[in-house]
Structure 1
Amino acid sequence: MTVTGPLADLRRVAADAGGPEDVVADAEGRVLTGLADGRIVRLTLSREGGLDRYEVVARTGGRPLGLEPTADGALLVCDARRGLLRVDPDDGSVEVLADSVDGVPLRFCSNVTAASDGTVYFTVSSRLYALEDWAGDIMERSATGQLLRLRPGGEPEVLLDGLHFANGVALSADESFVAFAETGAYRVGRYWLTGPAAGRRDTLVDELPGFPDNMSRGPGGLFWIAVAGPREACIDLLHRATSPAFRRAAWNAVKRFPPQPRRTTGAVAVTAEGWIVHDLRRRRSPYRMITSVCERDQHLIMGSLVERGVAVCRLPGRLAGQDHSRSTEVS
């Protein structure tokens, strides 16, 4: 069913904020995001989704990507150049928690989540490509992404290796598993932390309509997953029919003029059992490449690696209990 509305009232706020790749809400409902110039900013939004206050709370000295507020008021930050950081929004201090694993520098730290006991789970998108060449990793499908764990007082350890551009990460409401996006494989996996499957991985949702990026857990335990762009037939063919060497050569041939983000973008909401309960898409979107989404006060707050400003739109109604196959699309 095609319905006008879910993203039609999209509003751009904090328009001078360049490249707000991940957006998260703190305990007071304020939105935090990291920008291309290394700043972490905090946005206070009205209940209608307008901007009431804009604050710079820290500068990482790198390129902040995934964020996670902690119970003590701090902010965990995955910085693509500096590794896993802890930021204090009150005084702007920045502490490096991890910049290497097993002696290997963290080249492309991507997204992070924290358990109630202080254990941190985070992803490395690629050990071959840096952030500036993320499209090269998607084209080559290097399968060098990782899911890592950092226990309080410990050293980072690799839980999963060989992931296809590991990206967003979020814990289930009961912390029985951690979900992680594999952007290059159009899927979200689960790594079980408790129960009979502890230490194993399986698939939460597969064959997504596009490239999954950052994710967050909303009210009712739903996982909100940003879909940065639609599936690309040429990329699928490249993966199926060619060798890694050919794919690497193809990237080298186009890297000076990489493909631009599509204007089809959106988000999906998935239950802890893997049911897609909402699929929101927009063609010809004025806000390209949605790389993050979080739910706040009946609104969706969205960020983008390439856009300026944060996008806000009203939710199309309560999502829990809806038919998992329902799709809402705006053209």
Structure 2
Amino acid sequence: MDRRTALVPLRYVALPGHGPEDVVADCAGGILTGVADGRILRVGGLDDPTAARVECLAEIAGRPLGLELLPDGDLLVCSADGALLRVDLGGGRVQVLTETAAGERLRFCSNVVALPDGTVYFTVSSRVHPLRDWMGDIVEHSGTGRLLRLAPGAREAEVVLEGLQFANGLVRGGDDSCLIVAETGACRLTRFRLTGPRAGQAEPLAENLPGFPDNMWRGAPDGPVWVALAGPRVPPLGLLHRAAPAVRRRAARLALHVPYRPSGTTGVLAIDDDGRVLHRLTRRGSGFRMVTSVCETGGRLVLGSLWERGIAICEAPVI
């Protein structure tokens, strides 16, 4: 975990929109992302920043967060306003898959994966705070994050795991026997078993990460899991998390009135299915802040950010 190498920037591609929170690669080497005004964009021509092409494929009513590209070319989209959507990228049609779980309206849907049988799992970061107040949940340490399951054809999701600390990024295990969930507020990755004698159970996969894990990406079943670190750990926050709930709630209310500026330290991790860190890439004093997503395409890493107005292209290490 302490062995680190430099994250080498190659180029920056500006976007006509703010906050490309999640980035996913398509089969043609382009990048799909969603920006704050609800547009779903595709970025092509990454090899040459002067020739990069940005096109709008669709627009949703809410704020897009986590994305999952389906084999048929449609895109699953988590709306921060509380819905799981399916978007036809060819025609722009938006379908609401679900807005409820266990009889409760969703809030702050964060990331999503689809299994080969059509089952969809997705995370809800908080049942207390909306996206605009995300800092409040991190400070309060509410533990109201959830992992939800939407069966094929179902209109309402079921809760399969709760009590998570700001549930965020989500990827499939290499053999589809488990899911890996990023708990941003706890600086850890959690494994949720889908098959075998421990199906339905969860355990820590990687703890005490050097930063706050956000969205994750896996390009191939036998490839590494790339983890975006939205910022480095803050030791005083760890102390606050051990305080009484009333103290944390008061601190959260105060935190919402303090202007936020992300750290200048950028970081991503590559891990395997046992939680071992294969690469830790960092860059201090980076001009690209608050890395909330990372994916790999064409031998490059592509970074997304809730804060920036573009994506960053970086050198990928040899795994």
Cα offset, 1:9, TM superposition = 2.5
Residues 274/198 of structure 1: CA separation in 2 closer, same or farther (3 Å cut):
same
Match of 2:203 in 1: 202
Task: Tell me how far apart the structure 2 counterparts of residues 267 and 103 of structure 1 sit (CA, whole Å).
Answer: 37
The partner residue of 1:235 within 234, 237, 240 is 237
Task: Tell me how far apart the structure 1 counterparts of residues 12 and 266 of structure 2 sit (CA, whole Å).
Answer: 15
Match of 1:18 in 2: 18
Match of 1:93 in 2: 93
Match of 2:133 in 1: 133
Cα offset, 1:2, TM superposition = 6.5
Cα offset, 1:221, TM superposition = 2.5
Match of 2:79 in 1: 79
What SS does structure 2 have at the residue aligned with 1:132?
Answer: helix
Counterpart residue identity of residue 172, structure 1: G
Query: 1:43·1:51 contact (CA, 8 Å) conserved in 2?
Result: no
Task: Tell me how far apart the structure 2 counterparts of residues 97 and 161 of structure 1 sit (CA, whole Å).
Answer: 21
For residues 34-73 of structure 1, what are the structure 2 equivalents within 5 Å?
34-47=34-47, 51-73=51-73
Match of 1:325 in 2: none
Task: Tell me how far apart the structure 1 counterparts of residues 120 and 300 of structure 2 sit (CA, whole Å).
Answer: 27
Residues 106/177 of structure 1: CA separation in 2 closer, same or farther (3 Å cut):
same
Counterpart residue identity of residue 193, structure 2: W
Q: Which stretch has the larger CA shift, 40-49 or 27-36?
A: 40-49
Task: Tell me how far apart the structure 2 counterparts of residues 227 and 50 of structure 1 sit (CA, whole Å).
Answer: 28
Query: 1:47·1:297 contact (CA, 8 Å) conserved in 2?
Result: no
Task: Tell me how far apart the structure 1 counterparts of residues 272 and 110 of structure 2 sit (CA, whole Å).
Answer: 23
CA deviation string 1:182-207 (max 9, x = no partner): 00111011111112221111122111
Residues 10/238 of structure 1: CA separation in 2 closer, same or farther (3 Å cut):
farther
Match of 1:192 in 2: 193
Counterpart residue identity of residue 175, structure 2: D
Structure 2: state its 5+ residue gaps.
Answer: none
Cα offset, 1:50, TM superposition = 6.6
For residues 288-307 of structure 1, what are the structure 2 equivalents within 5 Å?
288-307=289-308
What SS does structure 2 have at the residue aligned with 1:17?
Answer: coil
Match of 1:108 in 2: 108
CA deviation string 1:197-228 (max 9, x = no partner): 21111122111001000001134331100000
Task: Tell me how far apart the structure 2 counterparts of residues 216 and 50 of structure 1 sit (CA, whole Å).
Answer: 27
Query: 1:265·1:283 contact (CA, 8 Å) conserved in 2?
Result: yes
Query: 2:136·2:255 contact (CA, 8 Å) conserved in 1?
Result: no
Residues 54/259 of structure 1: CA separation in 2 closer, same or farther (3 Å cut):
closer
Task: Tell me how far apart the structure 2 counterparts of residues 175 and 67 of structure 1 sit (CA, whole Å).
Answer: 19
Counterpart residue identity of residue 59, structure 1: E
Identity of aligned residues (%): 53
Q: Which stretch has the larger CA shift, 11-20 or 265-274?
A: 11-20
Cα offset, 1:51, TM superposition = 5.0
Counterpart residue identity of residue 65, structure 1: L
What SS does structure 1 have at the residue aligned with 2:176?
Answer: coil
Task: Tell me how far apart the structure 2 counterparts of residues 47 and 299 of structure 1 sit (CA, whole Å).
Answer: 10
Counterpart residue identity of residue 299, structure 1: R
Cα offset, 1:48, TM superposition = 6.0
Structure 1: state its 5+ residue gaps.
Answer: 320-331
Residues 249/267 of structure 1: CA separation in 2 closer, same or farther (3 Å cut):
same
Match of 1:142 in 2: 142
Task: Tell me how far apart the structure 2 counterparts of residues 56 and 2 of structure 1 sit (CA, whole Å).
Answer: 37
What SS does structure 2 have at the residue aligned with 1:16?
Answer: coil
Cα offset, 1:248, TM superposition = 1.2
Cα offset, 1:256, TM superposition = 1.8
CA deviation string 1:108-131 (max 9, x = no partner): 000001111111110000000000
Is residue 9 of structure 2 the alignment partner of residue 9 of structure 1? Answer: yes
TM-score with structure 2 setting the length: 0.95
Stretches of 4+ moved more than 2 A in 1?
Answer: 6-10, 14-17, 45-52, 218-221
How many aligned positions are there? 315
Q: RMSD over aligned Cα, in angstroms?
A: 1.5
What SS does structure 2 have at the residue aligned with 1:190?
Answer: strand
What SS does structure 1 have at the residue aligned with 2:237?
Answer: helix
What SS does structure 2 have at the residue aligned with 1:139?
Answer: helix
What SS does structure 1 have at the residue aligned with 2:251?
Answer: helix
Task: Tell me how far apart the structure 2 counterparts of residues 50 and 123 of structure 1 sit (CA, whole Å).
Answer: 37
Query: 2:82·2:105 contact (CA, 8 Å) conserved in 1?
Result: no
Cα offset, 1:307, TM superposition = 0.7
Task: Tell me how far apart the structure 2 counterparts of residues 308 and 162 of structure 1 sit (CA, whole Å).
Answer: 33
Cα offset, 1:72, TM superposition = 0.9
Query: 1:230·1:262 contact (CA, 8 Å) conserved in 2?
Result: yes
Task: Tell me how far apart the structure 2 counterparts of residues 10 and 17 of structure 1 sit (CA, whole Å).
Answer: 21
Match of 2:177 in 1: 176
Match of 1:326 in 2: none
TM-score with structure 1 setting the length: 0.91
Match of 2:227 in 1: 225
Cα offset, 1:103, TM superposition = 1.9
Cα offset, 1:82, TM superposition = 4.0
